[in-house]
């Protein structure tokens, strides 16, 4: 039967279950016997539209697969390690002020050691990561906590727990520094 009220619709549709791509009509007298079409391809996208607004008592439940950490996956992710933004052109959309400059490395294991060199081979900074995040930020400062010069930097990333290493190149263009006092 039909539901009464502002959102008149077939009453059986309020708890819709997608059973087949080209399945039968849910209003059919033979329902559910006529659900015999092939299932959708992997990656198929369904768009459900409604004019019924969410109410205060509506509840939603979403379930996502648990995060699985494995040494094999971490070793495979070494190839994905990268840095962004690269090149760094005196700005990063994630920066909150001109005193908070950084680039971010991603796809990292729990432990990593970063050695950052300029093109002359001088190590300008050594950083250590030891947390569960896949991300790590370099604040673009050298060992003396001064901003590094514009240029190309070679970052050697050592991952002792995996027995792997990776080399990444980073191009930095620093913004103009205007000193009020010196």
DSSP H/E element including 106: strand 103-106
pLDDT tens readout for residues 39-93: 667 777 767 677 777 888 888 888 877 777 777 877 888 888 899 888 888 878 8
pLDDT interval class at 1 (50, 70, 90): very low
19 found inside a domain = yes
Q: Give the C-alpha separation, 54 to 42, whole Å.
A: 29
Whether the CB-CB separation of 170 and 114 falls below 8 Å is answered with no
Does the predicted TM-score (pTM) go above 0.75? no
* Helix spans in the chain (H): 71-77
Examine the fold and report which residue of 12, 29, 63 is the final residue of a domain before the chain moves on.
Answer: 63
Whether the CB-CB separation of 74 and 162 falls below 8 Å is answered with yes
Do 44 and 105 lie in a common domain? no
119 found inside a domain = yes
pLDDT at 71: 78
Do 98 and 28 lie in a common domain? no
pLDDT at 19 over 70: no
Residues recorded for the chain: 182
pLDDT tens readout for residues 119-156: 999 999 999 999 988 899 999 999 999 989 999 999 99
Q: Give the C-alpha separation, 61 to 44, whole Å.
A: 21
Range(s) of the domain holding residue 155: 79-173
Do 94 and 59 lie in a common domain? no
Do 33 and 115 lie in a common domain? no
């Amino acid at each position: 039967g039909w539901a009464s009220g502002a959102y008149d619709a077939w009453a059986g549709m309020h708890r819709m279950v997608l059973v087949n791509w080209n399945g039968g009509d849910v209003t059919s007298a033979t329902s559910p016997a006529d659900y015999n079409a092939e299932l959708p391809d992997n990656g198929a996208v369904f768009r459900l539209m409604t004019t019924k607004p969410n109410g205060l008592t509506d509840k939603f439940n979403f379930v996502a697969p648990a995060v699985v950490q494995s040494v094999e996956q971490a070793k495979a992710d070494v190839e994905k390690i990268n840095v962004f933004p690269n090149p760094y052109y005196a700005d990063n959309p994630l920066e909150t002020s001109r005193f908070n400059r950084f680039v971010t490395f991603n796809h990292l294991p729990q432990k990593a050691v970063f050695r950052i060199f300029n093109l002359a081979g001088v190590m300008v900074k050594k950083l250590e990561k030891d947390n569960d995040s896949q991300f790590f930020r370099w604040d673009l400062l050298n060992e003396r906590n001064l901003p590094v010069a514009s240029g190309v930097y070679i970052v050697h990333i050592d991952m002792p727990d995996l027995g792997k290493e990776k080399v990444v190149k980073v191009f930095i263009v620093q913004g103009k520094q205007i000193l009020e006092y010196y």
